[in-house]
Amino acid sequence: MSEGLGAWAAGLLVDEAWAAYTEGRFQQALAAAGRAIEAAGQLDDPVLLVRALHVEASTLQLMGDHAAALARYTRIMGLAEDPATSGRLDDPDAASAVADAYWSWVETGRKVTGIPVRELFRVLDAADRWLAATGHRDWRASILSERASVHQMLGQTDAAVAAAEEALAVAVQHPDAPGYVLNAHRFTLGDTLRQAGRAAQAAPHYQAILDDPDATSWDRHVARQGLAQCALAAGDPATARREARTAVLLAEPLGDNALCTTLDVLAEACRADGDLEAAWQAATRHLEAAGRIGGHYRPYFAARVAVDIALDRSDLSAAKRLLGELDEHAAALDAATGTTIYTGETARRHQRLADA
C-alpha cells in the first residue's frame, strides 16, 4: 500500500471513530482511533496523528477517564509547540484539533484534583496566544467558556457570568468556528447564572437547548438536568423530579460522567419531594458511578448528597462512614482550588451529625 493510500485509509479510521463517538459506541471509537494513531506513527504524519489523538481524547473524556484524556491532549499540545512538528500542522483539521486540545485540557484538568485550579488560567492564556499567532481569534468562545467554569470553581461568580455571557456572544457571532457547540455555551451560561442564584434567568437558556431540533442526547440530558435544578430553586420538587428522571434516562447510554450529574439532581429532587427511599436509591447509584470514575471531583459530590440523605433518614452509621470519605475528597479539592469551599461544606455536615 502506498503512503498516500495508507494515509487515506487511516483518515477513514478517524472518521469511523468520530461516527462511533457521536453514536455513543465508545469502545468502537477507541479501537478505531487507536489503529489510526498507530498508522500515523508508521506514516510519520503529524496531521493524522493529531486528528486521531483528538478523537481518542474526546472519547476518553466523555467516558470519564480524565487522566487518560489529559495525557492525549497534552501530547497534541506538545506537537503543536514543538518546532520539529508545528510547521507540519498547517491543516484546517489539525488546527481545530490543536485548539480543542487547549480548551479540553482545561475542561479535563478541572476534574483532576492534582492540578491547582488557578494554574488552569495559564493554559487558557497559552491558548489565547496560540489562537492569536495562528490567526484564529474568532475561535475564542470555548476558551471563554472554560474561563467561566474556572472562575466558578474559585467562587468568582461575577467573573464567571461575564465570561459565560461573552462566550455565548462570540459563539453566536462565529457559528462555524470549531469548539463547543452553541448548546454547550447555552448550558454553561445557564449553569453559571443558576449557581449565581439567578435560576429564573438560567431557565430560558436550558429551554433554548430543548427547542433546538438538532440538539443531541447529551445536549438534551444537560438541559433537562438544568431545568430540574431551576425547578428545585423555585420550590417545585415535583417538576424537578420529572425533569431529573428524564435526564437520567437520556444519560444512561452516555456513560458514568453523564450519569453522575443527573443522579445528583434526581437524588436532590426526590429528597425535596419527601421521598427519601427514592433519594437514597439515586444517591447509591451516584456513588457507584462516581466510584468507577475515581479521583476526588465526582466522588465528592456523590458523597455529599449521600451524607445529606443519610442524615435525613437518621442513618447515622452511614452518614459517619460517608463523612469520612467526604473529608478526604474535600481536602483534595480545597488544596487544588486554594479555597476552603469544600471543607466548609463538609464542616456543616459534621455539625448536622453532631446535632443528631
Per-residue pLDDT of the chain in tens (356 residues, 90 and over written 9): 445 556 778 789 988 998 998 888 899 999 999 999 999 888 888 999 999 999 999 999 888 788 899 999 999 999 988 888 877 877 888 899 999 999 999 999 888 767 888 899 999 999 999 999 889 999 999 999 999 999 998 889 999 999 999 999 999 999 999 989 999 999 999 999 999 999 999 999 999 999 999 999 999 999 999 999 999 999 999 999 999 999 999 999 988 989 999 999 999 999 999 999 999 999 999 999 999 988 899 999 999 999 999 999 999 999 999 999 999 999 999 888 888 889 999 999 999 999 98
Quickly tell me which residue has 447515622 as its cell: 316
With both helix axes pointing from N to C terminus, report the angle between 92-109 and 141-153 in degrees, rounded to the nearest 10. 10
Instruction: Say how far apart CA 231 and CA 243 lie, in whole Å.
Output: 9
Instruction: Say how far apart CA 70 and CA 76 lie, in whole Å.
Output: 10
As given in the structure block, the three cell numbers for residue 246 are 428524564
CA 37 to chain centre: 24
**pTM of structure:** 0.78
As given in the structure block, the three cell numbers for residue 240 are 424537578
Alpha helices in the chain (DSSP H): 3-22, 26-43, 46-62, 66-81, 83-86, 92-109, 120-133, 141-153, 157-173, 182-195, 199-211, 217-233, 237-251, 256-272, 276-293, 297-312, 316-337, 341-355
Instruction: Say how far apart CA 345 and CA 30 lie, in whole Å.
Output: 38
Instruction: Say how far apart CA 16 and CA 144 lie, in whole Å.
Output: 30
Assign domain 1-135 one CATH number from 3.40.50.20, 1.25.40.10, 3.30.70.1150, 3.80.10.10: 1.25.40.10
Sign of the alpha-carbon torsion through 298, 189, 193, 224: negative
